[in-house]
């Protein structure tokens, strides 16, 4: 069963929600954070204008599965939460239908500026959808083996007096809903119309349910109110049954017939309409006409009074309204596709050209494609990996489709600003990256937090030759400047000369450190030993002899060498580092994505990288795309940049600087 269904805006206000079982707010907050803000889960590979919920991957959190869909131009998100154990096939359909209905009913309220209030009485619509989809899902199961027609026939009799329902939009039934597109394009309005055979007994029901809209106990739906207002001038007590038929008459011009299997009879012509009129039965007048008012009133009014007693009319009325909305949305979609070729020219083309210059043009995929291709090439030239560049372009595209250009704004410039903000978003860290404060809070915790002081452990990993030891000494120098006591642990027990190299660094730093007020020592155990054990010993030693920070150097390893990478998991378990930093060079190209991914996954479940150090930034000029590639691959922030040969050439990342370089 569904646990919760919420409709919320991107600004965070819940417009409407229905809870069947309590779900903590952190579940949906998690969805928003991971999917929408941090984009950990890429929505889908290709961007289309079809926003069906089925295309969005489900998001799992705790024991729940969340399905969602969104309406970008209105800033709406629809989320359905259910337990992961259940398999609810109709959720996608529910989300899509609810989206269409909600946007149709309250879309104009949502466009109002400076308010967060949306008056919605959505309960009934939602209940109706739930009921319908659940019913169809239930009946779909036995009917699976049977042909679609049979399934429809099963359901048709189950609804007595059955004209009020149009034969099924019944969306749960796969075979039927697949057929639906075949006949939906024909009329714009899907007002329920029966075949001649059925129409006679049933049309009272039609008129009754129509009249119910205007009835005194009227519900508060907007359409009903509108309908009421439209005919307010005729204010007799009797007019309510007669009123609605008139509006139906206009619809019937494009009448669709339904045959016995519930499929549309394509050749709808006036003859069938004539037939019902010729029959001359008063009961049929529900379909045409206020002109023959007296007869209509007599019949339909009686049926109205009779049926109201059952109290069922509200439901039927709602069904009809909902179906109308859904099918008109379908029809609009089909029309949009069809009319492109024929009517696309003319005035719309001219105004399109004008809008190109002046602004106010609604962007479509075609407008964006070419400019985005150029932007992608530009990013590739800046050494951004193709994968990351494509993702950035897609996120810009997703952002911009359906947006309007501003006054005198070209498509290129809007894409530029879009890309800038996408880059800024991907590079900006989620949480603060103040290393000094973190070290302080561990080495000298506040009295209230009941924690023992312990050394802060930083370990550095990376591929061979990217500058692990160099960057480690730079960090060490930075810490010494801040008067910490630092222990360097030489855990590269593999490459000959690695320990000696660190020894030289340590000697230099020791002298520099004494001037600055810090203290540094090297912890070494020679070659050939197990790195994880040495790291563990180093941490214990540091705790005993009162060091503030332990910096662990590790051996370089190729990221696709399974044997070497697997030892990292043990290393993380033994040394328990507070921060694992990966060094990547700015020179590396497309491979950076794979490097970052493999290293991020190497520490086993529950442990990941904490940050990147991008070395050799001074050698690439403005081609700093590696930054973006690595952050894209893992969502882990860049902590430091190595910008030169000296101990002091270490920088933090300035996001706007990087963005400017990438966009220049």
Partner 1 sequence: MTWAHPEGWLSQALHPSLTVIVITIAIALAVPLFLHFVLFRSSSSRTLPSFLIVGPSGAGKTSLLTLFERGSPATTHTSQTPLTVEAALPVTTTAASNRYRSSHDPSSKEHKIFLLVDTPGHGKLRHHAFENITSPQHLKGIVFLVDAANLSTGAGGPTDAGLREAAEYLHDILLMLQKRAMGTKKVPEMPLLIAANKQDLFTALPAPLVKAALEAEITKVRESRSKGLLDSGIGMGDSDMAEEKEWLGEGGEGKFEFAQMEDVGVSVTIAGGSVLGGEGPEVGKWWDWIAESL
User: CA 95, CA 601: separation in Å to the nearest integer?
Assistant: 34
251 binds partner 1 (CB under 8 A): no
409 binds partner 1 (CB under 8 A): no
Compose the 420-439 pattern: x for residues touching partner 1 by CB under 8 A, - for all others: ----xx--xxxxx-xxxx--
Does residue 641 contact residue 613 with C-beta atoms inside 8 Å? yes
Q: Name which position in 21, 24, 38, 150 contacts partner 1 (CB under 8 A).
A: 38
Residue closer to partner 1 by CB (options 358, 555) is 358
Q: Name which position in 32, 47, 88, 130 contacts partner 1 (CB under 8 A).
A: 32
Report angle CA 645, 497, 495 to the nearest 5 degrees: 105
Distances (CA, A) of 101 to 51, 426, 549: 14, 34, 59
> Within positions 528 to 587, which residues make up the interface with partner 1, using CB under 8 A?
none
3-class DSSP assignment, residue 612: strand
Tokens of 404: 């309007």
Tokens of 187: 């009329």
481 binds partner 1 (CB under 8 A): yes
* Region of 137-145, 182-190, 330-338, 440-448 interacting with partner 1 (CB under 8 A): 440-448
Length of the chain: 664
451 binds partner 1 (CB under 8 A): yes
29 binds partner 1 (CB under 8 A): yes
36 binds partner 1 (CB under 8 A): yes
407 binds partner 1 (CB under 8 A): yes
Residue bearing tokens 């969502």 = 635
Residue closer to partner 1 by CB (options 196, 360) is 360
* Region of 103-111, 231-239, 289-297, 477-485 interacting with partner 1 (CB under 8 A): 477-485
Residue closer to partner 1 by CB (options 31, 156) is 31
* Region of 86-94, 281-289, 385-393, 475-483 interacting with partner 1 (CB under 8 A): 475-483
360 binds partner 1 (CB under 8 A): yes
Q: Name which position in 617, 630, 633, 636 contacts partner 1 (CB under 8 A).
A: 617
Does residue 632 contact residue 394 with C-beta atoms inside 8 Å? no
Applying CB under 8 A, the site for partner 1 has a residue count of 62
Q: Please, what is the minimum distance in Å from the beta carbon of residue 115 to partner 1?
A: 5
Residues 6 or more apart from 294 whose CB is under 8 A from it? Answer: none
3-class DSSP assignment, residue 294: helix
Tokens of 507: 């000697």
* Region of 130-138, 139-147, 356-364, 382-390 interacting with partner 1 (CB under 8 A): 356-364
Q: Please, what is the minimum distance in Å from the beta carbon of residue 657 to partner 1?
A: 4
Tokens of 57: 């991957």
Residue closer to partner 1 by CB (options 499, 614) is 614
645 binds partner 1 (CB under 8 A): no
Q: Please, what is the minimum distance in Å from the beta carbon of residue 651 to partner 1?
A: 4
User: CA 572, CA 204: separation in Å to the nearest integer?
Assistant: 76
The half-sphere exposure of 622 on its side-chain side, counting CA atoms within 13 A, is 12
* Sign, CA torsion 59/430/402/325: positive
Q: Please, what is the minimum distance in Å from the beta carbon of residue 498 to partner 1?
A: 26
Q: If we measure between CA atoms, which residue out of 664, 551, 638, 660 comes closest to residue 586?
A: 638
138 binds partner 1 (CB under 8 A): no
Find the radius of gyration of the CA atoms of the chain.
34
User: CA 559, CA 568: separation in Å to the nearest integer?
Assistant: 11
* Sign, CA torsion 98/99/101/107: positive
Q: Name which position in 1, 45, 85, 117 contacts partner 1 (CB under 8 A).
A: 117
Instruction: Determine if residue 483 is left, alpha or beta; phi over 0 gives left, psi from -120 to 50 gives alpha, anything else beta.
Output: left
Q: Please, what is the minimum distance in Å from the beta carbon of residue 379 to partner 1?
A: 19
Residues 6 or more apart from 347 whose CB is under 8 A from it? Answer: none
657 binds partner 1 (CB under 8 A): yes
Q: Please, what is the minimum distance in Å from the beta carbon of residue 377 to partner 1?
A: 24
**In Å, how far from its chain's centre is CA 87?**
21
Q: Please, what is the minimum distance in Å from the beta carbon of residue 634 to partner 1?
A: 15
Residue closer to partner 1 by CB (options 89, 654) is 654
Question: Which is it for strands 579-585 and 611-615: parallel, antiparallel or unpaired?
Answer: parallel
Residue closer to partner 1 by CB (options 40, 495) is 40
357 binds partner 1 (CB under 8 A): no
Tokens of 408: 């005198």
75 binds partner 1 (CB under 8 A): yes
Does residue 297 contact residue 242 with C-beta atoms inside 8 Å? yes
Residues that bind partner 1 (CB under 8 A): 6, 8-14, 17, 25, 28-29, 32-33, 36-38, 75, 113-117, 358-360, 407, 424-425, 428-432, 434-437, 440-441, 446, 448-451, 478, 481-482, 617-618, 640-641, 643, 650-654, 656-658, 660
């Amino acid at each position: 069963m569904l646990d919760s269904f919420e409709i919320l805006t991107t600004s965070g206000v819940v417009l409407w929600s229905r809870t069947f079982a309590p779900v903590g707010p952190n579940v949906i907050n998690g969805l928003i954070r991971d999917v929408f803000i941090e984009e950990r889960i890429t929505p889908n590979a290709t961007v289309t204008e079809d926003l069906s919920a089925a295309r969005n991957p489900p998001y799992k959190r705790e024991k729940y599965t969340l399905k969602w869909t969104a309406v970008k131009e209105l800033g709406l998100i629809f989320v359905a939460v259910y337990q992961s154990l259940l398999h609810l096939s109709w959720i996608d359909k529910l989300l899509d239908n609810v989206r269409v209905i909600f946007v149709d009913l309250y879309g104009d309220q949502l466009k109002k500026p400076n308010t967060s209030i949306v008056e919605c009485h959505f309960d009934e619509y939602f209940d109706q959808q739930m009921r319908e989809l659940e019913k169809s899902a239930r009946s779909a199961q036995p009917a699976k083996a049977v042909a679609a027609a049979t399934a429809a026939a099963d359901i048709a009799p189950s609804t007595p007096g059955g004209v009020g329902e149009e034969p099924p939009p019944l969306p749960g039934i796969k075979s039927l809903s697949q057929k639906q597109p075949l006949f939906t394009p024909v009329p714009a309005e899907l007002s329920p119309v029966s075949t001649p055979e059925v129409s006679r007994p049933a049309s009272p029901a039609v008129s009754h349910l129509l009249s119910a809209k205007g009835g005194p106990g009227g519900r508060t739906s907007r359409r009903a109110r509108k309908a009421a207002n439209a005919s307010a001038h005729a204010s007799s007590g009797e007019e309510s049954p007669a009123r609605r038929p008139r509006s139906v008459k206009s619809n019937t011009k494009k009448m669709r017939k339904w045959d016995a299997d519930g499929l549309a009879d394509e050749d709808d012509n006036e003859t069938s309409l004539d037939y019902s009129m010729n029959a001359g039965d008063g009961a049929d007048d529900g379909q045409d006409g206020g002109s023959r008012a007296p007869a209509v009133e007599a019949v339909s009014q009686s049926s109205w009074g009779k049926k109201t007693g059952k109290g069922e009319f509200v439901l039927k009325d709602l069904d009809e309204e909902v179906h109308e909305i859904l099918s008109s949305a379908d029809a609009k979609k089909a029309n949009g596709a069809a009319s492109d070729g024929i009517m696309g020219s003319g005035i719309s083309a001219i105004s399109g050209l004008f809008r190109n210059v002046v602004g106010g043009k609604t962007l479509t995929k075609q407008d964006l494609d070419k400019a985005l291709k150029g932007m992608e090439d530009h990013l590739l030239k800046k050494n951004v990996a193709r994968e990351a560049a494509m993702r950035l372009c897609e996120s810009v595209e997703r952002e911009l489709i359906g947006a309007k250009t501003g006054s005198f704004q070209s498509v290129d410039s809007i894409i530029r600003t879009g890309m800038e903000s996408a880059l800024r978003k991907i590079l900006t860290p989620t949480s603060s990256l103040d290393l000094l404060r973190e070290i302080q809070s561990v080495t000298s915790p506040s009295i209230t937090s009941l924690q023992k002081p312990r050394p802060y452990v930083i370990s550095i990993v990376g591929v061979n030759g990217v500058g692990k030891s160099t960057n480690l000494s730079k960090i060490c120098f930075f810490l010494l400047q801040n008067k910490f006591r630092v222990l360097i642990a030489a855990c590269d027990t593999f490459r000959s000369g690695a320990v000696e190299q660190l020894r030289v660094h340590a000697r230099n730093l020791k002298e520099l450190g004494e001037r600055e007020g810090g203290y540094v020592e090297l912890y070494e155990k020679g070659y050939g030993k197990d790195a994880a054990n040495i790291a563990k010993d180093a941490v214990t030693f540091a705790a005993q002899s009162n060091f503030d920070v332990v910096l662990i150097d590790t051996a370089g390893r190729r990221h696709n060498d399974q044997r070497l990478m697997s030892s990292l998991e043990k290393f993380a378990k033994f040394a328990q580092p507070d921060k694992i930093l990966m060094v990547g060079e700015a020179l590396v190209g497309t491979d950076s994505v794979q490097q970052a991914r493999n290293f991020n996954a190497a520490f086993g479940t529950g442990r990941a990288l904490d940050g990147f150090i991008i070395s050799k930034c001074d050698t690439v000029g403005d081609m700093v795309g590696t930054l973006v590639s690595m952050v894209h691959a893992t969502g882990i922030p860049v902590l430091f940049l190595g910008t030169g040969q000296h101990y002091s050439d270490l920088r933090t990342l300035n996001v706007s600087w990087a963005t400017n370089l990438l966009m220049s």
